[in-house]
Amino acid sequence: MSRPLVVACPDKFRGSLSAPQVAEAVRVAAERHGWRCRTVPLADGGEGMLDAFGGANRSTLVTGPLGRPVEAAWRLDDTGTAVIESAAASGLALAGGAERNDPMAATSAGTGELVVQAVQGGARRVLVGLGGSAMSDGGAGAVEAVLGALGTRPAELGVDLMGACDVETQFTDAARVFAPQKGADPQQVAELSTRLELLRDHYRERWGVDLDGVAGAGAAGGLGGGLVVLGGRLLPGFDLVADQAGVDGALVGARLAVTGEGALDGQSFRGKVVGGVVERARRHGTPVLVLAGTVRDDVPPDRVRGLTVVDLSRAYGAGASWRHTAEVVQHAVTAHLSRLGTG
């Protein structure tokens, strides 16, 4: 009799474990218990997307969010697929956080420079994770960097450019929605919003691209819209990563799917990894075990009905959940598999 199969398809536990590390902890517990395990670490398009695809395998010196050079990690595999995180080149953390960021000057140029490196390196598909950015420049820096180096849009060179995002924010709403988190005061938010309106008009007049109504164009301070101007397309981050990683194929024949993240909350079921895994697992009739560092009070009861949800902090203590996450994950998986048995 073949051993039962569990699929480990978690997000990262921010500040504690990467998605591959969580998946590995699930694998160790499953195999110790006599189960087979497929590991499919995931992300929703923001930080952690590189890890989900196997991690960076190269690094390039690019223009940081405030103009200073930064070394940005990215990936180019042997299939011609490049994976870039805007946070690695244009991230708020690189600017020193909201307190040290200059929201009026922050630029997406470095992300555009990574796109150039990918195209010049032979990439035929470029995936850009949109999240954790410092800027609200509408992608102007990235657009200038790409066009200045390539002389044309990547799409016209046969490159499939895709932006992965987990928001549907409109282009001209980017400053209002995100700039306060990047250090902008109310007056700066108003000025940035006016800039985005003018840039929207410029994009329409210069490139014939109308960003009004494009869901996600406001992601990463409008970088999403910049990618559309460059001939790219915006996709829900989870779906893009899950399709590339082969989640549906991995779930075929599985007796259990294990997913999770650091904090399970109301947003977890709105374009995030946990909600996406639950939806796909239900299509396959696969039960789901959700592991969370902590479970917030705003989780909708109807979204977790029929799931097994383990609050690791409550079950094992907040300290153990934070400092010994892998061991706690293994313990939780072992306990659940013991209840299921191997028959």
Structure confidence at residue 28 (pLDDT): 98
Q: Which of 213, 170, 141, 163 is nearest to 49 (CA)?
A: 163
- Of the residues 239, 254, 289, the one at which a domain ends: 239
Task: State whether 33 and 58 are in the same domain.
Answer: no
CB of 222 closer than 8 Å to CB of 136: yes
Task: State whether 124 and 228 are in the same domain.
Answer: yes
Query: What is the pTM for the complete model shown?
Result: 0.89
Q: Which of 178, 96, 172 is nearest to 130 (CA)?
A: 178
Task: State whether 180 and 198 are in the same domain.
Answer: yes
Structure confidence at residue 1 (pLDDT): 55
Structure confidence at residue 343 (pLDDT): 45
Distance CA 90, CA 112 (A): 10
SS3 per residue for the chain: CCCCEEEECCCCECCCECHHHHHHHHHHHHHHCCCEEEECCCCCCCCCHHHHCCCCCEEEEEECCCCCEEEEEEEECCCCEEEEEHHHHHECHHHCCCCCCCCCCCCCHHHHHHHHHHHHCCCCEEEEECCCECCCCCCHHHHHHHHHHHCCCHHHHCCEEEEEECCCCCHHHHHHHHHHHHCCCHHHHHHHHHHHHHHHHHHHHHHCCCCCCCCCCCHHHHHHHHHHHCCCEEEEHHHHHHHHHCHHHHHCCCCEEEEEEEEECHHHHCCCHHHHHHHHHHHHCCCEEEEEEEECCCCCHHHHCCCEEEEHHHHHCHHHHHHCHHHHHHHHHHHHHHHHCCC
CB of 46 closer than 8 Å to CB of 90: no
- Of the residues 204, 239, 274, the one at which a domain ends: 239
Strands 69-76 and 58-63 turn out to be antiparallel
In CATH, what number is assigned to the domain containing residue 296?
Answer: 3.40.50.10350
As for how many domains the chain has, the answer is 2
Q: Alpha-carbon dihedral of residues 111, 117, 122, 128, nearest 10 degrees?
A: -10
pLDDT tens per residue, range 260-280: 999 999 989 988 999 999 999
The type of residue at 117 is: Q
Task: State whether 228 and 321 are in the same domain.
Answer: no
Task: State whether 81 and 186 are in the same domain.
Answer: yes
Structure confidence at residue 92 (pLDDT): 97
Structural domain that includes position 79 = 49-239
CB of 16 closer than 8 Å to CB of 261: no
Task: State whether 121 and 30 are in the same domain.
Answer: no
Q: pLDDT of the chain along its 343 residues, tens only? A: 589 999 999 999 988 999 999 999 999 999 999 999 999 999 988 788 998 888 899 999 999 999 999 999 999 999 999 999 999 999 999 999 999 999 999 999 999 999 999 999 999 999 999 989 999 999 999 999 999 999 999 999 999 999 998 889 999 999 999 999 999 999 999 999 999 999 999 999 999 999 999 999 999 999 999 999 999 999 999 999 999 899 999 999 999 999 999 999 998 998 899 999 999 999 999 999 999 999 999 999 999 999 999 999 999 999 999 999 999 999 999 999 999 875 4
Task: State whether 96 and 34 are in the same domain.
Answer: no
Q: Which of 185, 189, 195, 271 is nearest to 11 (CA)?
A: 271
Task: State whether 190 and 336 are in the same domain.
Answer: no
Task: State whether 250 and 225 are in the same domain.
Answer: no
In CATH, what number is assigned to the domain containing residue 98?
Answer: 3.90.1510.10
Q: Which residue has the tokens 């989870």?
A: 238
